[in-house]
Amino acid sequence: MCGIVGYTGRQAAAAVEPSTRPLEVVMEGLRRLEYRGYDSAGVALVAPGFDQVAWAKKSGKLSNLAAVIDASPLPDATAAIGHTRWATHGGPTDLNAHPHLADDGRLAVIHNGIIENFAELKAELLDQGVTFLSETDTEVAAQLLARNYRSAGNLTEAMRITATMLRGTFTLLAVHTDNPHTVVGARHDSPLVVGIGEGENFLGSDVAAFIAYTKEAMELAQDQIVTITPDSIDIIDFTGARAEGKRYTVDWDANAAEKGGFSSFMDKEIHDQPQAVADTLRGRTDASGHIQLDEIRIDEALLRSVDKIIVIACGTAAYAGQVAKYAIEHWCRIPVEVELAHEFRYRDPIVDAQTLVVAISQSGETMDTLMAVRHAREQGAKVLSIVNAHGSTIPRESDAVLYTHAGPEIAVASTKAFLAQITAAYLLGMYLAQLRGNKFSDEIDALLRELRAIPEKVETVIQRGEYVKATARSMKQATSVLFLGRHVSYPVAMEGALKLKELAYIHAEGFAAGELKHGPIALIDEGQPVFVIVPSPRSRTGLHSKVVSNIQEVRARGAKTFVIAEDGDDTVVPYADEIFWIPQAPTLMQPLLAAIPLQIFAMELATVKGLDVDQPRNLAKSVTVE
């Protein structure tokens, strides 16, 4: 949700290299951050001798901004900031695009988040005769920063004072012509990381902003101000006290965030899935094969005494949590509730020290989930987060973290993170079952073997993707698609519907197949496409025959049926218009396979409709507003 990048470099200052470098660095950072928002983009540059900030901004995708800069090149610079926007206050227009300028054009500000008290601050500034050009809350911050700079005479101190006056969530970056080698940032409940270079330093919403230049990064804590110059990184907190950032090395390289020859990031990330599952499993057992989740620093005695688990997450991550519920309850005999994070803290949930809250998030920045984490901890619960993005906020604020090792997920629609989240949650379930004595070690071994067999099976499903794609191409005219699943495949059905909504802009709904007869079956008429995920005929849930009956029921009413079934399950053949076969797997492992044809179907349908697969309309990758 808004991508932010800042850069300052000594080479550029000394003009050792072409001193357009800050612009190039910032544009490259924006290219890699565009998945966070693509309503508009803009840059601001400063250099010694500038009496005004040089800037360019344009509504729409980054390519529009690049065209503007090509047509009217910007001057050489020493420091730069750049922004790609997901609109909140004010529509996605040129005027509302960031940067926003103040102090007679000598100061430029970019912002991620929402300033909740912007109306009152704006009224105050209007009273003082300040004029505003945009409808954004950001311009209020820019004007406030300018006012504070005039009184404090120091950009860092002005930023600190400004930060304490703002309510809401924000990352702010600023440059001022008086400080042509400096970028100042502030962080409150919104992401910001530092990239450490030699004779150059970076700021970014996440490490993708600077991964092309350095893998050395520094985490900032909440409520901190950071000032970078080519040779220094200074951090203070909102009280003005000095602070230290936590250094780390990013464990993926720039290529991991490239398409690598695939037509889209989503296509690449679908193909990354065998690796994502394998990497998430790797190194999580000791020499004798026991599950060892070293990262979990929660006291074992406490984990043994937990009497309830609440999973909090949003969207796809919440569906991963719903899948995990079936497994964890079955293995550990602990009740598991799965709650949408944004609903959780507003309903007075029953949470205490015996509750383990599991927060699942790819980005680690989803504001709804972060707020739910804070609420759970305030109530005395321990929070364990399952997160993909290292250095993000949710793990920092959790008692423990289990990282998924899916690598960077760039496409806005989540794919490999979903499989990695299920895998990590299953590891947690097995670990708890082992710790609490619900399963013997040979049972755990057997489960681990099942899980370790999954990457190869995922590969098989992906290889069969051409048939799914051909089917999707024949569905270009579809206006509504229903998805049915039962038991552990019910959340997968909802995930399939979500993928289709967000990518192909088609009405889609996922139902528990058993619920069909209680109402939704009224939706079925001639030609209605219905996907059905069929449990294994070997499943001890006994649901196979019931779901096969559900297929017959919808078909009898005219539905066109798309059946996902296990290899060799010939019972479904007479009732399926199309069949997407998946390898045989135990019941609880099936979601890791059944989700894939649904991802491929949605991706291909969006492609034939000429839609942007990686950056669907109105969306952003990490939702950092509530």
Closest to ligand F6R by CB, 11 or 622: 622
Q: Rule CB under 6 A: is residue 314 a binding residue for ligand F6R?
A: yes
The answer to whether 428 contacts ligand F6R (rule: CB under 6 A) is no
Q: How far is the CB of 316 from ligand F6R (least distance, A)?
A: 3
- Burial of residue 476 (number of CB atoms within 10 Å: 0-12, 13-18, 19+): exposed
> Side chain identity at 477, as an amino acid letter?
Q
**Of residues 387, 376, 327, the one with CA closest to residue 354:** 376
Amino acid code (one letter) for 564? I
Q: Does 280 bind ligand F6R (CB under 6 A)?
A: no
At residue 534, what are phi and psi to the nearest 5 degrees? Answer: -100, 130
**Residue-wise burial string across 280-306, b where 16 or more C-beta atoms lie within 10 A, e elsewhere:** bbeebbeeeebbebeebebeeeebeeb
- How far is the C-alpha of 77 from the C-alpha of 623, rounded, in Å? 32
CA distances from 278 to 124, 262, 447, 449 (A): 56, 21, 15, 12
Q: Of 299, 340, 595, which is closest to residue 457 (Cα–Cα)?
A: 595
Q: Which stretch binds ligand F6R (CB under 6 A): 232-240, 313-321, 436-444, 529-537?
A: 313-321
Cβ pair 81, 5 in contact under 8 A: yes
* 275 interacts with ligand F6R by CB under 6 A: no
Nearer to ligand F6R, 7 or 265 (CB): 265
The site map against ligand F6R for 231-270 (x = CB under 6 A) is ----------------------------------------
Using rule CB under 6 A, residue 112 touches ligand F6R: no
Length of the chain: 626
Q: How far apart are CA 147 and CA 158, in angstroms?
A: 8
Known catalytic residue at 314: no
Minimum CB distance to ligand F6R smaller for 503 or for 559 = 503
Question: What are 511's two structure tokens?
Answer: 């139902």
Q: Does 11 bind ligand F6R (CB under 6 A)?
A: no
205 binds ligand F6R (CB under 6 A): no
136 sits near ligand F6R (criterion: CB under 6 A): no
Which one of 122, 268, 325, 621 is the catalytic residue?
A: 621
Site mask for ligand F6R (CB under 6 A), range 587-626, x = bound = -----------------------------------xx---
Where does this chain touch ligand F6R (CB under 6 A) — which range of 220-228, 356-364, 399-407, 432-440?
A: 356-364
Report the site for ligand F6R in 488-507 (rule: CB under 6 A).
498, 502
From the list 239-247, 355-363, 454-462, 479-487, the region that binds ligand F6R by CB under 6 A is 355-363
- Single residue of 197, 315, 395, 597 touching ligand F6R by CB under 6 A: 315
Q: Is 361 in the site for ligand F6R (CB under 6 A)?
A: yes
Round to whole Å and give the CA distance between 396 and 390: 9
For residue 274, give both structure tokens. 């065998």
Q: How far apart are the first and last CA of the chain?
A: 11
Give the binding range for ligand F6R (CB under 6 A) out of 30-38, 189-197, 298-306, 360-368. Answer: 360-368
- Least distance in angstroms from the C-beta of 466 to ligand F6R: 23
Output the residue with the shortest Cβ distance to ligand F6R: 315
Least CB distance to ligand F6R at residue 271 (A): 17
The yes or no reply on residue 369 touching ligand F6R (CB under 6 A) is yes
Question: Rounded to the nearest whole angstrom, what is the least distance from the CB of residue 614 to ligand F6R in the complex?
Answer: 12
Q: Which residues have CB under 8 Å from 288's CB, separation 6+? A: none
**Residue 273 binds to ligand F6R (criterion: CB under 6 A):** no
Smallest gap from Cβ 378 to ligand F6R, in A, equals 20
* Residue 413 binds ligand F6R (CB under 6 A): yes
Torsion of CA 376, 381, 384, 389, to 10 degrees: 30
Residue 171 engages ligand F6R in binding (rule: CB under 6 A): no
Other Cβ atoms less than 10 A from the Cβ of 188: the count is 21
Considering CB under 6 A, how many residues would be counted as binding ligand F6R?
15
Annotate 77-98 with DSSP letters as a single string: -SEEEEEEE--SSS-S-TTTSS
Residue 528 interacts with ligand F6R (CB under 6 A): yes or no: no
Stretch binding ligand F6R (CB under 6 A), from 27-35, 145-153, 256-264, 312-320: 312-320
The C-alpha atoms of residue 464 and residue 481 are separated, in whole angstroms, by 22
Query: Would you say 363 or 528 has its CB closer to ligand F6R?
Result: 363
Judged by CB under 6 A, the stretch of 43-51, 169-177, 197-205, 310-318 that binds ligand F6R is 310-318
Please say which residue, 392 or 561, places its beta carbon nearer to ligand F6R.
392
Q: How far is the CB of 502 from ligand F6R (least distance, A)?
A: 6
Q: Over 239-287, what HEC string results? A: CCCEECCEEEECCCCHHHHCCCCCCCHHHHHHHCHHHHHHHHHCCCECC
**Minimum distance from residue 367 beta carbon to ligand F6R (Å):** 9
| 385 scored as a contact of ligand F6R (CB under 6 A) | no
Kindly state whether residue 366 participates in binding ligand F6R, applying the rule CB under 6 A: yes
Sheet with 3-9: strands ordered across: 54-59, 40-46, 79-85, 3-9, 200-204, 193-196, 216-219, 246-249
DSSP structure class, residue 192: -
Q: Which class for 517: exposed (0-12), middle (13-18), buried (19 or more C-beta within 10 A)? A: exposed
Q: How far apart are CA 611 and CA 123, in angstroms?
A: 42
Is 229 a binder of ligand F6R (CB under 6 A)? no
d(CA 420, CA 320): 9
Positions in the binding site for ligand F6R (CB under 6 A): 314-317, 361-363, 366, 369, 413-414, 498, 502, 622-623
The catalytic residues are 2, 621
